[in-house]
Structure 1
Amino acid sequence: MQLVSDVILEDRPQVEPHFGARYPSLDGFNLWDPQDWTAGHPHDFFRRMREEAPVMWQSSDPKRAGFWSVSRYEDIKTVELAPEVYSSERGSINMFVMPRKEWKPKKLIPAAFNSIINLDQPHHMEMRIQQKDFFIPRFVAELSERIDIKIDSLLDEMERKGPVVDFVKMFSQELPLFTLCEMLGIDEEDRPKIIQWMHYLELANQYFVNPWTLLSRRPWFPIKFYHYVNEMFAYGERVMAERRVNPRKDLMTAIANTQMAGKPLPQEYLDGSWLLIIFAGNDTTRNSLSGTIRLMTQFEDQREMVLADRSLIPAMSNEALRMISPVQHMRRTAMEDTELNGQRIAKDEKVVLWYPAANRDPDIFPDPDRFDMHRDNVDKHIAFGHGPHKCLGNRIAQMQLQSAFRKIFERFPHIAWTGKQTISPNTLVHAISSLEVNLYGLGKDRPTQVQVKTPG
């Protein structure tokens, strides 16, 4: 099986598009720069893009190729539904592909390319089918029982540490990591390593795009980063080799035994699958959980509706996903000269899909900045993508959100964001790295427990 990393299109300097731009290139936000994302989604900029430049050329630095930014809902669906024209494999989902001479750490960069998310048909579907048993409703229902127990445990600890806690540290980073470890079959004693590896992987985007900003704060980062990346892949390789000899009923076994054209996957694809599951399955759910708490504080009327009728929690979760859009973009590469919304796009030019912009497209979602769980199309967001590459784990993510908020609202119906948060520099995901909450409402103390004596 051909490796994506062997044939991937490397970035080349390209300041101007081949056919020229029909729409203006707007100033005011560098979509490619992680530092520009620390204030959250640029919704005003996205609004201008949708109205003035729905297929907009943006240059980055002179060493890298510029790209087309797509911001309207229907245009993004058009791209997602035409994988033969807009490839995931030709240039990967990453905004930039560095020259091979810069591919360090040695295992990490190829692994980022050699995975299901970067494959076109028929290989994408063939690999997807072999892993589907861990994403179907029956498995999700079985997993939810263990998730409920973990949620109760996390809420108990929050209550002990409250009333004011960091929701990310105490809940939203813990739950998806637990879920992933349960799915993968990670032994209990190995789970702290996953948390450590995740911390360094999350900083990788910032390090590769704008290294000096990170190094000014963490001069030892490269040494630690290389060490933990090598440790992570060595662990994955060892465990998957063991699963081929002694299979279990877990996702790690399914990955380890996946075949293409009747042959085992090359190690490079096993590395890529391991990286994708551990990274993608964690970040998006974590930020959705945190973002929903934030929204329930900003839209108190919607919270009151849910408290009055818990059957609204699935609709609440969908509307929250639309407004949060935890995955900020995916990238496709034109396989031929083509046209999108009147803009000619040349073969091998990059097309970047901005999901937060599409999910607030007023042509699809009227009054898009308002949280409204009673929308007729509340489940039509594209927070999980669309078409053949729609996120395989979307049911797992929805289950975690719904289970979490059923229990959170039972225990802490007035939980509120205090206004303090940190959003890390990241172009790929809306990375809420801390979110301060008061479990009992803004400015409230822990309720006094009154002991009632029984006569006797």
Structure 2
Amino acid sequence: MHLVSDNIVEGRAGPTYPPVRPTLPDVDLTDIYRFTKGQPWDDFRRMRETAPVMWHPMPRDGVGFWALTSHEAVKRVNGDPEGFSSEKGGILMALGAEETRHPTLFSASTNSMINLDGRPHRELRKEHMPYFTATYMKGLRDRVSAEVTRLLDGMAPTGKCDFVEKFAQRLPIFTLCEMLGVPVADRERFMQWIHFLEMAQQIAVEQMDQLAGLSEPTPQIAAFIDMFNANVAEMFEYGRAMLAKRRADPQADLMSAIANAQVEGGKLPDEYLDGAWLLIVFAGNDTTRNSLSGAMKLFTENPEQKALLQADGGLLTNAVHEITRMVSPVIYMRRTATRDVDVCGQTIAEGEKAIMYYGAANRDPAMFPDPDRFDIRRANAEKNIAFGHGPHICIGRMTAQLQLEEAYRQIFARFPDIRWTGEIDIAPNNFVHAVKRLEVEFTPEATARAA
């Protein structure tokens, strides 16, 4: 099986064809620190209104990209794998300078299912599918529900806590480890690995600034980079050992399906095993964790919606669709044009990059009237594309839906007055909306019973 990393290219400098619409001068979607305040909804609105397909330059003489913010444009590119490749340039905004790349992370992040096109992508996706069907989810639901109860039991006496630390990061790890077949004793390690993976962009920016002479190395940064490298190495060593064990002795779990997957007539090369491990650990945890936290923030800011859900549990499934629309935990995906293609009146040249902003598309008034309003009864909430669209639609979307439903079914039953305090920390990351801390308050369960 060919390696994506052998042929991946950063892209063609552009724009080749004159931009039909202007580049907004004060919009910078490459600045990861801007995203510590949340997604730039106002920038996305202005881009949709003025330039839904906008040329966006890259710093440090990067090749630049077309930023897509309308629902029509994002859906158009996502649904056209022939015209827009995941494989030619990868799905991340930039490949990074070779001298700052973490070699294992770079290989794993490129040699994975999410970056494949055509038949190899279909074959590898098919190998995963038995663990992402409605039938499998039905069997998983009881275990997820029991874990939600256990986690809430731990929160119940406190009256306040960091919702991320006590609940939102723990439930997705439990669910994923149940699917993978990870021993209970090993599951705590996942939280630390994910923390460092979310900081990978910050590490790369720090190193590039040092190379460019924009900042000086410090002992603190050097120590953090050493911790980062040690944790990444530990994560891959663990994954390799587990996958080797499942090749030798397959079990009825997702880990065995990955280890023994057959693509193009053979088992996956080691590089793709690393890639599968990275993808499942990061994507399988991060998006659900941030949706759980984002939902708590939304319900606190919109108490009338919380009251609606508490009064009518039948709204829960649609409420989760609306939560994922509003939160859009994956900020973007990138594609590379395989030929000259027209997107909403703009010609994108072969080799140029197009980046689809899912949150911007999910707040497009052309698709979702009054799009910034959180409305759990929204008639078309299910049409959101937070999980993508087309052949690369997120394979784990039903898993995320299940966890959000089970979580909020129990949370509001047990802690009816739970609320976000206003305290929140978001990691500097422009690929995922990474909530690191979200403080909540509620009446302790024993106090509520006594009252």
TM-score w.r.t. structure 1 length?
Answer: 0.94
Unaligned runs of 5+ in 2: 210-214
Q: Does residue 175 of the first structure (1) align with residue 171 of the second (2)?
A: yes
SS in structure 2 of the partner of residue 420 of structure 1:
strand
Indicate the residue corresponding to 2:93 in structure 1: 95
SS in structure 1 of the partner of residue 286 of structure 2:
helix
Inter-CA distance 27–445: structure 2 relative to 1 (3 Å threshold): farther
Q: How many residues align structurally?
A: 444
Q: CA deviation at 1:210?
A: 4.3
Tell which deviates more after alignment, 25-34 or 214-223: 214-223
Q: For 2:353 and 2:260, how far apart are their aligned partners in 1?
A: 33
Q: Does residue 292 of the first structure (1) align with residue 289 of the second (2)?
A: no
Q: CA deviation at 1:285?
A: 0.2
* Alignment counterpart, residue 390 of structure 1, candidates 393, 396, 401: 393
SS in structure 1 of the partner of residue 354 of structure 2:
strand
Indicate the residue corresponding to 1:18 in structure 2: 16
Identity %: 47
Q: Does residue 337 of the first structure (1) align with residue 333 of the second (2)?
A: no
Indicate the residue corresponding to 2:65 in structure 1: 67
Q: Which amino acid aligns with 1:84?
A: E
Q: CA deviation at 1:29?
A: 3.0
Indicate the residue corresponding to 1:105 in structure 2: 102
SS in structure 2 of the partner of residue 38 of structure 1:
helix
1:210-289 equivalent positions in 2, closer than 5 A:
210-211=206-207, 218-289=221-292
Deviation per CA, 1:337-383: give whole Å up to 9, x if none.
12211111111111000011100000110001111122221100001
Q: CA deviation at 1:324?
A: 0.5
SS in structure 1 of the partner of residue 179 of structure 2:
helix
Q: Which amino acid aligns with 2:189?
A: K
Q: Which amino acid aligns with 2:176?
A: L
Say whether the 8 Å CA contact 1:172–1:287 is kept in structure 2: yes
Deviation per CA, 1:65-88: give whole Å up to 9, x if none.
111000000111111111010101
Q: Which amino acid aligns with 2:229?
A: Y
Q: CA deviation at 1:449?
A: 5.0
Say whether the 8 Å CA contact 1:50–1:72 is kept in structure 2: yes
Q: CA deviation at 1:64?
A: 1.5
SS in structure 2 of the partner of residue 122 of structure 1:
helix
Q: For 1:209 and 1:377, how far apart are their aligned partners in 2?
A: 39
Inter-CA distance 58–234: structure 2 relative to 1 (3 Å threshold): same
Question: Aligned Cα RMSD in Å?
Answer: 1.8
1:339-418 equivalent positions in 2, closer than 5 A:
339-418=342-421
Q: Which amino acid aligns with 2:351?
A: D
Unaligned runs of 5+ in 1: 452-456
Say whether the 8 Å CA contact 1:105–1:229 is kept in structure 2: no
Q: Which amino acid aligns with 2:78?
A: E
Q: Does residue 204 of the first structure (1) align with residue 200 of the second (2)?
A: yes
1:154-173 equivalent positions in 2, closer than 5 A:
154-160=151-157, 162-173=158-169
Q: For 1:278 and 1:284, how far apart are their aligned partners in 2?
A: 11
Q: Does residue 137 of the first structure (1) align with residue 140 of the second (2)?
A: no
Q: CA deviation at 1:20?
A: 2.4
Q: For 1:399 and 1:210, how far apart are their aligned partners in 2?
A: 38
Q: CA deviation at 1:336?
A: 1.1
Indicate the residue corresponding to 1:148 in structure 2: 145
Q: For 1:448 and 1:259, how far apart are their aligned partners in 2?
A: 55
Q: Which amino acid aligns with 1:252?
A: M
Indicate the residue corresponding to 2:212 in structure 1: none
* Alignment counterpart, residue 32 of structure 2, candidates 6, 31, 34: 34
Q: For 1:337 and 1:283, how far apart are their aligned partners in 2?
A: 35
SS in structure 1 of the partner of residue 436 of structure 2:
strand
Say whether the 8 Å CA contact 2:120–2:264 is kept in structure 1: no
Deviation per CA, 1:127-161: give whole Å up to 9, x if none.
1111101000111111111111111111111113x
Q: CA deviation at 1:102?
A: 2.7
SS in structure 2 of the partner of residue 220 of structure 1:
helix
Q: CA deviation at 1:180?
A: 1.0
Tell which deviates more after alignment, 145-154 or 286-295: 145-154
Q: Does residue 115 of the first structure (1) align with residue 112 of the second (2)?
A: yes
Q: For 1:215 and 1:168, how far apart are their aligned partners in 2?
A: 31
Q: For 1:30 and 1:210, how far apart are their aligned partners in 2?
A: 18
Q: CA deviation at 1:4?
A: 0.3
Say whether the 8 Å CA contact 1:206–1:214 is kept in structure 2: no
Indicate the residue corresponding to 2:125 in structure 1: 128
Deviation per CA, 1:277-331: give whole Å up to 9, x if none.
0000111000000000111111111111111111111111111110111110000
Q: For 2:168 and 2:7, how far apart are their aligned partners in 1?
A: 38
Q: Which 4+ stretches in 1 moved above 3 angstroms?
A: 209-219, 448-451
TM-score w.r.t. structure 2 length?
Answer: 0.95
Q: Which amino acid aligns with 2:366?
A: D
SS in structure 1 of the partner of residue 447 of structure 2:
coil
SS in structure 1 of the partner of residue 238 of structure 2:
helix
Q: For 2:185 and 2:448, how far apart are their aligned partners in 1?
A: 38
